[in-house]
A and B are shown apart, each in its own frame.
Chain A
Amino acid sequence: MRRFFGGVIAAGALAAAALFGGSPVLAADDTIKVGVLHSLSGTMAISETTLKDAMLMLIDEQNKKGGLLGKKLEPVVVDPASNWPLFAEKAKELIAQDKVVVVFGCWTSVSRKSVLPVFKELNSILFYPVQYEGEESERNVFYTGAAPNQQAIPAVDYLMKEEGVKRWVLAGTDYVYPRTTNKILEAYLKSKGVADEDIMINYTPFGHSDWQTIVSDIKKFGSTGKKTAVVSTINGDANVPFYKELGNQGVKATDIPVIAFSVGEEELAGIDTAPLIGHLAAWNYFMSVDTPENKAFIEKWQAFTKNPKRVTNDPMEAHYIGFNMWVKAVEKAGTTDADKVIDALPGIEQANLTGGVSKMLPNHHITKPVLIGEIKDDGQFDVVSRTDDLVPGDAWSDFLPGSKDLEADWVTLKCGNYNTKTKKCGGQGT
């Protein structure tokens, strides 16, 4: 089935190459077009609008530095309106009609999955800036957000070591990212000797707003005397009522800490954080990190948005890294041609905003530091732990039976899912 699909896509790519192959060079234009594919309306607008603004700022800044290859960059912004099939349509429009040479975009995994065939077929480049569940590595996609081993696993390690947590609540929204992440975490916790009855897994629908039962269940689960923590992959709007209920029912961070993977500065802007002090979040960037690069970035951002209170967040930093890596790769390749840029990207290094240098890896993921922050009363995070070195992103989790034998390497193996056991490309373990 997979192979058949591959065949279809290859045929499609050939057809596309025949149709469009003639003119990949946009020499006639004096601008280089950069696509921005983020929802500006609908449910995801809350998170994605910020990223669109961040991209505009980065492009603007590059133009002030003289552009790229002697040309100005021109942003092309489209609105896929939080509608997954529309993402694919808009991606096609960007690449085929507007002739953009690279696209920065998507937030949810389902939107990324929706545009994948388009990027393969039309052979373009997508930079994806959000932390995700892994289990994927595509030739046309560069993942600048965290893979599970760059966020979820270190977060759990921190709680085990620093807080002595023995009992775990894995709470998430019911869709692919939390389900896969929780599967990985469950396997990881069991490998560390956590018993079945000490793990409680709970899923809720998107936008869930009545958390009374679940919070009181968590309280009960945590009152056995063993130290309990909640690992939250609750997404988007559901977080605010969840944290409000936690605060009101008196679940304090010193009793049952909650560590979240989807709650950042932006999400906290809608809540009174006083009852939440000490709850945690794991990211690769926090606005409160005190480095000169970050300070400059925040100043530029607040000046660009003309709002001195505007916050920055982790996916913005991912776009910052991704965009600069792309610029460097284009300069190295001397062209914006997709194939040459894709080949040039692995190995490119770019200083991140937290004081390290991130590197694009052959599996199209990047190296990132892992930071754990505690919520402060001003809605910012206090960094309580950070990894000594940057952690390389692992596309295929080592804790899932199907994926631990898989490896992604687009430099030597030229394959996104090479099976180290069967020595074949394209073999999902199961």
Chain B
Amino acid sequence: MPFTFIVSKALRFVLTLAFLVFGAIAASPARADAVDDALAGFTTDKYDDTDKAIQGVILSGAAMGGAIFDALGAGRLVFDPQSKTVLYKDASGALKLAKTGEPAPAELAGKPLKTVRLNNRLRRAVEAASGAFELRSPDRAKRIGAAKAIFKTREPTALPSIEAALAAESDPKVKEILTQARAAIVVGKADAPEADRAAAAATVAAVGDADALAALTNLPADSPPAVSAAAAAGVAAIERWQSVANVVQNLVYGLSLGSVLLLAAIGLAITFGVMGVINMAHGEMVMIGAYATFLTQAFIADHVPALNHASLVIAIPVAFLVAGGVGVLIERTVIRFLYGRPLETLLATWGVSLILQQLVRTLFGPSNREVSTPEWLQGSVEILGVSLTWNRIAIILFALAVFAALQLLLRRTSLGLQVRAVTQNRRMAGSMGIRTARVDALTFGLGSGVAGIAGVALSQIDNVSPNLGQSYIIDSFLVVVFGGVGNLYGTLVGAMSIGVANKLLEPWAGAVLGKIVLLVAIILFIQKRPRGLFALKGRAVEA
């Protein structure tokens, strides 16, 4: 099967090239009946027929080939089941006839059109077919994409079209990638001159990523010594670089995990760390924040779709207010009667957490809700071989921003001053005229609101379900206790060190064992230093 697959893939490339070279030179008008025959294959809704249709379109030399494959790959190729007309929607959504590219007649537009279905095999065929077209696309990004795809597949039959494209190319960046793609093919080409292949090996090695490594390690066994030597040197260099990049990557992943922990824990650092309330319902505040995000997004999508891309940003204050409000409510109705009685607080907040979970389950149903990711947070960026997803980068920055804002609030505002005063010495603060009950409620609301903000961020990487909070509550307590109760900087350092340690352990211990090892290490650490990394000093602690 793989052999026949390669053959069919190769054949398809040859066909594409044949069309590109001869079709273009002769500028022969596409044989109309051949195009019709080929297009008919798209209308039977069978994978094998679609496959034949793809090859048919290439063979027939239809002028619309590029547009057809473009639309097919993007799921925009449609047909009318009755008249068997094949149409495509262009990028702007306008309906056009596949055969000619003319706008579709009005009577077709209103009909229930069916999309041509693809499976993975066909998707690869479309990619291969459109690759050759795209090497000559006027769109620079498309040319780069096509050249990169060829670098990855190292398809020998693509060599002539690469060389043709190289000769015609003027953009230096595209030229560079085309040269690399050419090198990736040449280095494994048995009939190329030895010097060329050795030089190609060096070019490929300079790319230095995983695809380059694959190109160099999969050379035919009978390659001449000069080529093998150049390849081996390249492999060694790439592997050396990759082992460094691996460590960097794990560190960055660790920071990213740490920032998620920081976000989840920072609200608890206030309710538990500063106020001393063992708040088992903290996770549910995060969950409420995530659901607030879901509702905000749904509302904006329904009423002001123009703001869709900004809905996450708008959800931040909404989540803060909703979760904060619920927090104030819980403090006023439950927790204020239990100050100084940690065991009762623990049980009461545990009960509150179960009530909130079941309430959300009843209101929204037990299944996950979809919070969509705006376009600017999708995808990833590759920096020096370390691939980072945008949403993780955003979460790292967001966590640090929330941390800084909270620090400012506690250090630089009068509310912050009052909070610190009340938590350090309640009676003294009361005697100075601070309304301690109000400060308690606001502090608890602040902690809950920050947890709600964490929910906005977590809705991007985790399930929005009634169970969301449960998976973070233990980690949050761990971070706060490890970092040192009552110290926000301790929470920051604690979260980041747990994150990094977790990610450094994971590659060799596995996710399950890594977590156990880490837990044991933290328990031992707390045995040694019961007050955590940054212990508060002074009389407040003893009180």
Please report A residues at the B interface, Cβ cutoff 8 Å.
40-43, 45-46, 49-50, 160-164, 166, 174, 202-205, 207-210, 212-214, 216-217, 219-220, 223-225, 227, 237, 240-241, 244-245, 247-250, 253-254, 257, 266-267, 269-272, 275, 277-278, 374, 377, 382, 384
Within the assembled complex, what's the spacing in Å between the Cα atoms of A377 and B211?
A: 29
How would you classify the secondary structure of chain B's contact residues: helix, strand, loop or mixed?
helix
Decide: A163 near B121, CB < 8 A? Known: A45-B366, A212-B257, A241-B461: yes
Cβ-closest chain B residue relative to A39: B366
Within the assembled complex, what's the spacing in Å between the Cα atoms of A270 and B465?
A: 9
Within the assembled complex, what's the spacing in Å between the Cα atoms of A203 and B511?
A: 7
Q: Say yes or no for B368: interface residue by CB 8 A criterion.
A: yes
Q: Please pick, from A50, A216, A277, the residue contacting B387 in the complex, using a CB distance under 8 A.
A: A216
- The answer to whether B253 touches A212 (Cβ under 8 A) is yes
A170 to chain B, nearest CB (A): 13
Q: Say yes or no for B260: interface residue by CB 8 A criterion.
A: yes
- The answer to whether B2 touches A164 (Cβ under 8 A) is yes
Q: Across the interface, which residues of B come within 8 angstroms of A384, CB to CB? A: 47, 119
Query: Known pairs A41-B361, A225-B215. 17 more at Cβ < 8 A?
Result: A203-B510, A203-B511, A210-B256, A210-B502, A225-B218, A227-B2, A240-B368, A241-B462, A245-B389, A248-B380, A249-B380, A254-B124, A270-B463, A270-B465, A272-B370, A278-B123, A384-B119
Q: Please pick, from B120, B253, B357, B512, the residue contacting A163 in the complex, using a CB distance under 8 A.
A: B120
- The answer to whether B119 touches A382 (Cβ under 8 A) is yes
Q: Across the interface, which residues of A come within 8 angstroms of B1, CB to CB? A: 160-162, 164
Over the window 496-536 of chain B, the binary record of Cβ atoms lying under 8 Å from chain A Cβ atoms (1 yes, 0 no) is: 00000011001100111001000000000000000000000
Cβ-closest chain A residue relative to B117: A382
- The answer to whether A210 touches B260 (Cβ under 8 A) is yes
- The answer to whether A272 touches B253 (Cβ under 8 A) is no
- The answer to whether A237 touches B467 (Cβ under 8 A) is yes
Q: Across the interface, which residues of A come within 8 angstroms of B218, CB to CB? A: 224-225
Q: Across the interface, which residues of B come within 8 angstroms of A42, CB to CB? A: 467
Q: Across the interface, which residues of A come within 8 angstroms of B392, CB to CB? A: 212, 248
A-B contact pairs, 27 of them (CB 8 A): A42-B467, A45-B366, A45-B466, A46-B368, A50-B366, A162-B1, A162-B121, A164-B5, A166-B2, A203-B510, A209-B260, A210-B256, A212-B392, A212-B503, A216-B253, A223-B211, A225-B214, A227-B2, A240-B462, A241-B461, A244-B460, A248-B379, A248-B380, A248-B390, A249-B389, A254-B123, A382-B119
Q: Across the interface, which residues of B come within 8 angstroms of A269, CB to CB? A: 367-368, 370
Q: Which residues 346-378 of B sit at the A interface, judged by CB distance below 8 A?
A: 357-358, 361, 365-370, 372-373, 378
How big is chain B's contact interface, by range? 35 or more
Within the assembled complex, what's the spacing in Å between the Cα atoms of A271 and B372?
A: 8
- The answer to whether A249 touches B387 (Cβ under 8 A) is yes
Decide: A253 near B120, CB < 8 A? Known: A204-B511, A266-B367, A377-B75: yes
Within the assembled complex, what's the spacing in Å between the Cα atoms of A216 and B256?
A: 14
Of A42, A160, A241, A382, chain B has the most CB atoms within 10 Å of the CB of: A42
- The answer to whether B250 touches A213 (Cβ under 8 A) is yes
Within the assembled complex, what's the spacing in Å between the Cα atoms of A237 and B471?
A: 10
- The answer to whether B379 touches A250 (Cβ under 8 A) is yes
Within the assembled complex, what's the spacing in Å between the Cα atoms of A18 and B254?
A: 62
Q: Across the interface, which residues of B come within 8 angstroms of A266, CB to CB? A: 367
B176 to chain A, nearest CB (A): 21
Q: Say yes or no for B249: interface residue by CB 8 A criterion.
A: yes
Q: Which residues 440-472 of B sit at the A interface, judged by CB distance below 8 A?
A: 460-467, 470-471
Q: Across the interface, which residues of B come within 8 angstroms of A212, CB to CB? A: 253, 256-257, 389, 392, 503
Q: Across the interface, which residues of A come within 8 angstroms of B503, CB to CB? A: 212-213
B368 to chain A, nearest CB (A): 3
B502 to chain A, nearest CB (A): 8
Shortest 8 CB-CB contacts between residues of A and residues of B:
A270-B368, A164-B2, A248-B389, A223-B210, A45-B366, A225-B218, A204-B511, A225-B214
Cβ-closest chain A residue relative to B212: A223
Q: Say yes or no for B213: interface residue by CB 8 A criterion.
A: yes
Within the assembled complex, what's the spacing in Å between the Cα atoms of A174 and B516?
A: 13
Q: Please pick, from A46, A219, A240, A257, the residue contacting B366 in the complex, using a CB distance under 8 A.
A: A46
Cβ-closest chain A residue relative to B354: A41
Q: Say yes or no for B137: interface residue by CB 8 A criterion.
A: no
Of A46, A164, A212, A245, chain B has the most CB atoms within 10 Å of the CB of: A212
- The answer to whether A174 touches B512 (Cβ under 8 A) is yes
B509 to chain A, nearest CB (A): 11
B30 to chain A, nearest CB (A): 28
- The answer to whether B123 touches A253 (Cβ under 8 A) is yes
Q: Across the interface, which residues of A come within 8 angstroms of B253, CB to CB? A: 210, 212-213, 216
- The answer to whether A217 touches B465 (Cβ under 8 A) is no
Q: Please pick, from B119, B256, B373, the residue contacting A272 in the complex, using a CB distance under 8 A.
A: B373
Within the assembled complex, what's the spacing in Å between the Cα atoms of A42 and B391?
A: 29
Within the assembled complex, what's the spacing in Å between the Cα atoms of A24 and B118?
A: 57
Over the window 115-145 of chain B, the binary record of Cβ atoms lying under 8 Å from chain A Cβ atoms (1 yes, 0 no) is: 0011111011001000000000000000000
Within the assembled complex, what's the spacing in Å between the Cα atoms of A398 and B206?
A: 49
- The answer to whether A205 touches B511 (Cβ under 8 A) is yes
Q: Please pick, from B249, B502, B512, the residue contacting A204 in the complex, using a CB distance under 8 A.
A: B512
